[in-house]
Structure formats: C-alpha cells, structure tokens
C-alpha cells in the first residue's frame, strides 16, 4: 500500500463538503473555520495565530 503523503486537509475538506451537501464554497468554509477557532479556542496561542491571518 502506497503511503499517503499528500496534504490531507486539501485532499479531504472538499470531499467532505460534497459529502455533506455543504452550500458554502471551500474558501467560505475555511473562513468559517478560522472564525470558529478565533471565537472558541481555549488555547490562547491557537487563537492568536488564527487571528493574525
């Protein structure tokens, strides 16, 4: 079995979007994810880095 070396987020988030019938585009979903981390994360460094982008 060939080991999988591709970038997993890039590979599977679009597939999950299709699988879930998600109406948002990939870019919108990623922005949504960033907002969720900034608003909710309890790891302060995580929140700070997400906020810098």
Partner 1 sequence: MGERIPGRSVESVIEQTDLSLLLDTSTEPMNATPNDSKKRIEQLKHLQAWETQTARLLGGWQPAVRLWEAKHAIGLHLWRDLQTAGELRTRLWELRVSRPDGSAVVESVLPAIKILACAQQDFEFIAGLYLGAKKALAEAYRAYLEETHATWDVPSIDILRRAAVIKETKIEWAEAYLAQVATSDERRHIVERWANYAVEVITAAGGVCGEDERSAELPPPGYGCLLPFGECKRDDRFKVQLQGYDRPPIDDDEAHTLWQFVSYTIEMQAAETLASVLWEGEGMDWEFYYDVARHCYDECRHSKMGEERVRELGHEIFEIPQFTGNYAWRQLYDPMRRYGMLTYIIEQDSFALKHETYKNYVKIGDTTSAEAIMYDIIDETMHVRLGAEMGAGID
Applying CB under 8 A, the residues found at the interface with partner 1 are 1, 4-13, 15-17, 19-20, 22, 29-30, 32-34, 36-37, 40-46, 49-50, 52-53
Contact 52, 43 (CB under 8 A): no
- 3-class DSSP state for residue 50? helix
Tokens 């810098």 identify what position?
52
Tokens 């906020």 identify what position?
51
CB of 52 to partner 1, least distance (A): 8
């Amino acid at each position: 079995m060939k080991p999988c070396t591709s970038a997993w987020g890039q590979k599977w988030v679009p597939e999950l979007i299709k699988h879930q019938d998600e109406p948002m585009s990939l870019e919108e979903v990623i922005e949504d994810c960033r907002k969720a981390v900034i608003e909710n994360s309890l790891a302060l460094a995580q929140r700070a880095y997400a906020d810098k982008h």
